[in-house]
Amino acid sequence: MRFKILIRLKNQILEPQGKVIEQSLKSLGFEEFTNIRQGKLIEIDLPDTLNEKERLKKIDAACKKLLVNEIIEEYEVLG
Amino acid sequence: MSFKSAVITFPGSNCDRDALSYLRDLTYGEVFNIWHEEISLPKVDLVILPGGFSFGDYLRSGAMASKSNIINEVINHANGGRYLLGICNGFQILTETGLLKGALIQNKSIKFLGKDCYIKKKFNNKFNCNIQNNEVLQIPVAHNEGNFYCDQDTLNYLQDEELIAFEYCNGEYSLDDANINGSLHNIAGITNENRNILGMMPHPERAYQDFHASKDGKKIIESILS
């Protein structure tokens, strides 16, 4: 089964790439687009033999150990 | 007994040779170059985690390198009270391992900074004890993620426990804004509580030879050796 993990910088942390994207979109006429923040998406396959609880437990462990730096980032498993 | 040191090389390290020369020229002792896949580290007095783009900065700067084989040995080395110095990407690796607090995020200006900068000592430790309190050092930086961040409690802790080793200050290369990359409290380098681990964004190994713009980088090694 395929899982998606959405990782974003915490709200209080400046995300300069989003600001630049916002400026570029503005110059292309997308003035309504504000507060843009860029994050990252990681997609993972896990075997169907694991039950949902086991899968989420494994994803959580991988996030805490490597995929996410919880000092600056937060994550959400999109399933 | 002569001083022994080692530099760890990761795929993508590009300041490891500079760090090796820096140690050979200034410590006059034996210097080892250790590949990240090794599982043992010779008994040395100082280990340098050099600058560069270890593992292409994939995921986050320093994230992959912080899980390398050699890192357990590096942690054991530091737990034994011996010196560990992370420069630039090495600093990012130290925060990713949790040996140092905080994180290094993208520069506020979104620019890669490759230029000389000015720093001064904030609190005394073994890495800067030969430097006077108001002495300004000219040392180059070369980074995209050098913006030091931590939460307010951690920042208070770093301040109260006197763990801030270096801060950016004004000088010829930072006239308008001492804070070149957006770091909290102008932080350029911090230590652990035991003060045997230092992480810093500026490159002392690029400021010690006759052809370098400055020789201020010598003062870090001279402090350690003193």
The ipTM of this complex is 0.88
**One-letter amino acid of B16:** D
- Can you tell me the mean pLDDT for B58-76? 97
- Per domain, the residue ranges of chain B are 5-225
- Can you tell me the mean pLDDT for B52-77? 97
Q: Which of B15, B36, B88, B145 is catalytic?
A: B88
pLDDT of residue A16: 87
Instruction: Tell me the CA distances in angstroms from B94 to A59, B61, B146, B150, B190, one per residue in order.
Output: 24, 11, 13, 14, 10
Are B24 and B63 in contact by the 8 Å Cβ rule? The answer is: no
pLDDT of residue B174: 72
pLDDT above 80: residue A79: no
pLDDT band at B175 (very low <50, low <70, confident <90, very high): low
pLDDT of residue B117: 94
Establish whether B88 is a catalytic residue: yes
Give the tens place of pLDDT for each residue, B109-122.
888 999 999 999 99
Closest CA to B13 of B66, B56, B77: B56
> Chain A residue with minimal CA distance to B67?
A66
Which domains are present in chain A? 2-77 (3.30.1280.10)
Contact: A71, B149; criterion CB under 8 Å: yes
How much is the pTM? 0.95
Q: Find which of B55, B57, B59 to mutate to test the A interface (most A CBs within 10 Å of its CB).
A: B59
Which of A47-51, B164-168, B199-203 is least confident?
A47-51
* Contacts with B107 from chain A: Cβ below 8 Å: 16
**One-letter amino acid of A63:** C
Fold designation for B5-225: Rossmann fold (3.40.50)
- Asked if A9 is an interface residue toward chain B (Cβ–Cβ < 8 A), one would say yes
Both structure tokens of A69 = 């730096």
How would you list the strands of the sheet with A2-9, edge to edge? A40-45, A2-9, A73-77
Does residue B99 sit in helix, strand or coil? coil
Are B168 and B119 in contact by the 8 Å Cβ rule? The answer is: yes
Q: Quote the percentage of chain A above a pLDDT of 70.
A: 99
**One-letter amino acid of B166:** F
DSSP B52: B
Contact: A16, B110; criterion CB under 8 Å: yes
* Contacts with A19 from chain B: Cβ below 8 Å: 110
Q: Find which of B105, B145, B154 to mutate to test the A interface (most A CBs within 10 Å of its CB).
A: B105
pLDDT above 80: residue B176: no
pLDDT above 90: residue A39: yes
Q: How far is A33 from chain B (nearest CA, A)?
A: 20
Are B45 and B72 in contact by the 8 Å Cβ rule? The answer is: no
* Identity of the residue in B103, B107, B182 whose CB atom sits nearest the CB atom of A69: B103
Establish whether B161 is a catalytic residue: no
pLDDT of residue B87: 98
Chain B neighbours among A 20-49 (CB < 8 Å)? 20
Q: How far is A16 from chain B (nearest CA, A)?
A: 6
